[in-house]
Structure formats: C-alpha cells, structure tokens
Amino acid sequence: MELCNKIDSNIHETQEFSVLQYLGHKRKLIPFIKENVYNYLGEGDGFLDLFAGTSIVGYNFKKTNLVYSNDAAPFAYETAKALIKNNLIINYDEIKQKLDKYYEKNRENLSNIFNKYLMKEKKLLNSVDINSLIDFYNNSPNYPLNNEKFDKEIDLLEYKKNNKKEPYILFSSYYSSNYFGFHQSIDIDSLKYAIEYGTFSEIEKGILHTSLFYAMNECSFSRDGHFAQVINFNRSKKRLLKTRKNLFINFL
C-alpha cells in the first residue's frame, strides 16, 4: 500500500508519542533521523517511509514533506491511514453513536458467555486482593491452557473456518487472563466488531483502529508494554493492578 499526504494545518503539533510499544519502533531515534535526513531532504520533497510500522517516522516529516508510507502488516496500514493520510479532527459524539450499537451487541453476547468471570474479576479488582486475583486468573478459562474450563463450548475451529463468526471473541478466549483481563478483552473484541460493522469511512476506521491499539498498549500486562512477552503475575503484582484499568480511559 502507498499513502501520501502533506499536512496543511497545525493539528499535529505533538510529535513525541507512541501508538504502540512496538519492537523496533524508532520513536527515540526521531531527533537523530531528522537531523541527518534534513541534510539531504528539501522542504516539499517526497519522503518514503519504507517499513513504516507505527508510522512515527513518516508522521514526523509530515509538516515539511509529502510522505509516502509502505508496510506489509495490516496494523501498519491502519496507523498510516490515521497518522499520515488523515488531516482531519473527527467528531467524537458522531463516532461514538455509530460505535455504540455494534459495540453493545457484541458485548452483550460475550457477557452472557463470560458473566461469571466478569463478576468475579470486578469483585477482586475492587477488593484489591491481589493474591486471590492471581489465583482467579490462573484458574480461568483460556485457550490453549485452560481450555476445558469454558462453561459453554466455544468451538474455535469454527472461527478458524469463518473469521467473521459472531460474537467476536479472539481476545476474550485467548488473552483474558494474561495480557488483559476479562473486562478489557470483551471491550477489545466488541470495539473491533463495532469498527468493522459500523458505517465508517476508511480514514475513520484507521483512526479507530489506531485508538484501539493505543488503548490496548496502555493496558497491556507485558514486558516493556509491548505484546511479545507476558509478565509473571507473582513478580509484578503492583503492575498487574495498575494495568487492569478501564480500556476506555485511553480510547478516543
């Protein structure tokens, strides 16, 4: 894919931020890259951000140059649409209204499946009883470890045959007792469902996906905040409580 856009307003003032703690992202190298690249790049010249990843490099040249972005990964396409191609500020209320209907539909279906675990998680998080919380997660259903503990049979093979099967359940079934909790995973699955089915433009979808990645990144219980390695509960109890927050704090 290729996208390009030269920024024509001052809405992208903040350039030091990170959508994802992605392994190999270049956020910390931005001053070095800029200092050196501007020796060869004039204002208004084309700038190709090859292997764009989080798009943080291209984003930092958007004020002065015509940025082209390329990456094979679908997540990178979404962030490039939001950060490189987009120059608009979206209307939050309008977007929220369009999201809500589908978000609620998926959420309700998942809440029926995971109700017992949602209630228990909420109680333990409120009580701040960290050892019981860890015990709860270690004994909760999740693929592929505690597969047999699901109350209702969830046939993931069906999802492998048809990845549009409803409700969207990927995070709730795999990551609800490790990187994320049950509440967070159900929100992630339901937001993903709503982004796909709500009537959004391609740019809006890019912005919503990017917001979701950012919100997930801020709650992920994993080493250095990226998704490569989950942390041992017992070694980082305080962090577990800190990251099990409401995902919506950082979404939109």
Ligand X SMILES: C[S@@+](CC[C@H](N)C(=O)[O-])C[C@H]1O[C@@H](n2cnc3c(N)ncnc32)[C@H](O)[C@@H]1O
Q: Which residues of the chain form contacts with ligand X (CB under 6 A)? A: 22, 24-26, 51-54, 56-57, 71-73, 76
| CA nearest neighbour of 124 among 112, 113, 132 | 132
> How far, CA to CA in Å, does 217 sit from each of 59, 180, 193, 251?
19, 10, 19, 11
Closest CB to ligand X among 32 and 248? 32
Nearer to ligand X, 17 or 51 (CB): 51
- Residue 85 CB, shortest distance to ligand X, in Å, is 16
Helix (H, G, I), strand (E, B) or coil at 131: helix
Least distance from ligand X to the Cβ atom of residue 8, Å = 24
Q: Quick one: 112 or 229, whose CB is closer to ligand X? A: 229
DSSP, residue by residue, 33-86: HHHHHTTT--TT-EEEEET-TTSHHHHTTTTTSEEEEE-SSHHHHHHHIIIII-
Q: How far is CA 201 from CA 75, 152, 210, in A?
A: 17, 36, 14
How near is the Cβ of 126 to ligand X at its closest, in Å? Answer: 37
Complex with ligand X: residue 73 or 228, whichever CB lies closer: 73
**Which residue's CB is nearer to ligand X, number 35 or number 155?**
35
The least CB distance from residue 18 to ligand X, in Å, is 9
How near is the Cβ of 221 to ligand X at its closest, in Å? 22
How far is CA 216 from each of CA 130, 150, 169, 193, rounded to the nearest angstrom? 22, 24, 16, 15
